[in-house]
Amino acid sequence: MVAAAAAKVPASPASPELGLLIMKLLAHILCLALALTISLSQGHEHEHEHGNGHEHEHEHEHASAAPDRCQGIEMDAVAVNEKGVPYFFKGDHLFKGFHGHAELSNESFSELDDHHHLGHVDAAFRMHNEENPSDHDHMFFFLDHMVFRYYKHKLEIGYPKNISEVFPGIPDHLDAAVECPNPECDHDSVIFFKGDEIYHYNIKTKAVDEKEFKSMPNCTSALRFMDHYYCFHGHMFSKFDPKTGEVHGRYPKEARDYFMRCSKFSEESEHVERERCSRVHLDAITSDDAGNMYAFRGHHFLHEDGANDTLTADTIENAFKELHSEVDAVFSYENHLYMIKDEHMFLYKVGEPHTHLDGYPKPVKEELGIEGPIDAAFVCEDHHIAHIIQGQTISEVDLKASPRVAHKEHSMHLFEKVDTAMCNAEGVTVIVGNHFYRFNSTELLVTETTLPEQHRVSMELFGCDH
């Protein structure tokens, strides 16, 4: 290339200026040629070290993009872990709980990726059998003709095994599976689904009883959650009787409305029913001086009118537009709502509509004398002390003091972490996941060593029928 360029240069320049210009041009061409030669040489070396690049391209082709649960996808399998947290499987990814991004399944269950000839997880369940500790709290995953058994995310010795070896009489390539303890089923059982074929497997005797669930659609995954049974089909679900397969009530319903936290819902979604019956944990809850309750979850909130006990649902964006969505904690004091989001506090005067006070948001540190993040906060009736929960620590802030300072820290032993809490005439209500617990006072919340009676948020706090 250099020689070709040189051949076009005139032999006798017409002037010294032209000769100088040509010499500069030649030098520039030589530099470009040298850079191209080095680049080609490095490219050959890289190709020699790493192959021709096709292996990497091939690997990239097989790495599936992370799914988005809010797009209305069909899950391959659903099961709860030993702490009751639902795991939703899709392809080679896994969703833990009701919100958050997908992660690769092999990050939690690495052995599932060791058998490349097997497909995705077809079915999964957690064994609920307290009488047999060797099986209790074990998680089972079914892939094609194999079954994997895990305990605390560790694969049990000898697994994977053929399904027929562990569950004789149960076919391969299942669609769904769910545990069914006695008396919810006639015996401690596992229900297996394959197309329209239903198998009740007796854990103790290993007998298989084939059933016919006429009123229920074919399940692509199934889940036992809070003593209820759910059949997922596509991105819809139906609640069913595990003994008969009967579906009662208005089903199917949209899974995203009840088992996932999504900013937008289907057009058919009934907002009040969805917020009352959603299994997604609450972000914040409070009760104001008039007995009105506000419960916040994601982009929406429920409001219960203290005068007539009616429930309404709205978006946070509409009623508290400065917040936009998702709050960390809320408490009520002197007809104002103190709303904490990240490191800032927003202050609203209760009314129709709620009025956002000028000068807010302000830093939480400035308003409460405490660093965030904050898990929950509440003020009891006729008091001026805000109780701030962070992890297992409860601090007190005197709201009449100036400046406000957090003091009197106490350790809370009954809960590792709470989602939210409120205080009203019924006492202190602490909410963890789908359950809540009542204490007659803050002192008992700190000093009690045994949990009080467990209640269900959806049914007993919001009056949901399931």
Q: Which residues pair with 170 in a beta bridge?
A: none
Looking at residue 346, its amino acid is: F
Predicted pLDDT at 411: 92
* Cα–Cα separations (whole angstroms), residue 18 to 13, 25, 364: 6, 11, 73
CA atoms lying within 13 Å on the CB side of residue 422: 25
The conformational region for residue 284 under phi > 0 = left, psi -120 to 50 = alpha, else beta, is: beta
Query: Mean pLDDT score of the chain, rounded to an integer?
Result: 83
Is the preceding peptide bond at 181 cis, omega within 30 degrees of 0?
A: no
Positive or negative CA dihedral for 67, 105, 199, 195?
positive
Confidence of residue 21 (pLDDT cuts 50, 70, 90): very low
Positive or negative CA dihedral for 455, 461, 464, 465?
positive
Cβ neighbours of residue 276 closer than 8 Å, sequence gap 6 or more: 302, 311, 458, 462, 463, 464
Confidence of residue 131 (pLDDT cuts 50, 70, 90): low
Give CATH 2.110.10.10 domain extents, the chain: 73-258, 271-461
Least confident span in 201-205, 227-231, 307-311: 307-311
The conformational region for residue 463 under phi > 0 = left, psi -120 to 50 = alpha, else beta, is: left
Predicted pLDDT at 268: 64
Q: pLDDT tens digit string along 256-289?
A: 888 887 766 666 667 788 888 888 899 999 998 8
Q: What whole-number distance in Å separates Cα of residue 306 and Cα of residue 302?
A: 13
Least confident span in 8-22, 178-192, 388-402: 8-22
Q: pLDDT tens digit string along 291-330?
A: 899 999 988 899 998 778 888 988 898 899 898 878 999 9
Positive or negative CA dihedral for 46, 49, 52, 57?
negative
Q: What whole-number distance in Å separates Cα of residue 316 and Cα of residue 209?
A: 50
Least confident span in 54-68, 73-87, 126-140: 54-68
Q: Is a pLDDT exceeding 70 seen at residue 50?
A: no
Confidence of residue 222 (pLDDT cuts 50, 70, 90): very high
Mean pLDDT of 13-39: 46
CATH C-level class of 73-258: mainly beta
Q: What whole-number distance in Å separates Cα of residue 202 and Cα of residue 208?
A: 6
Three-state SS at 375 = coil
CATH topology of domain 271-461: Hemopexin (2.110.10)
Three-state SS at 432 = strand
Predicted pLDDT at 36: 43
Predicted pLDDT at 35: 46
Cβ neighbours of residue 261 closer than 8 Å, sequence gap 6 or more: 98, 99, 280, 297, 298
107 vs 142, residue with greater confidence: 142
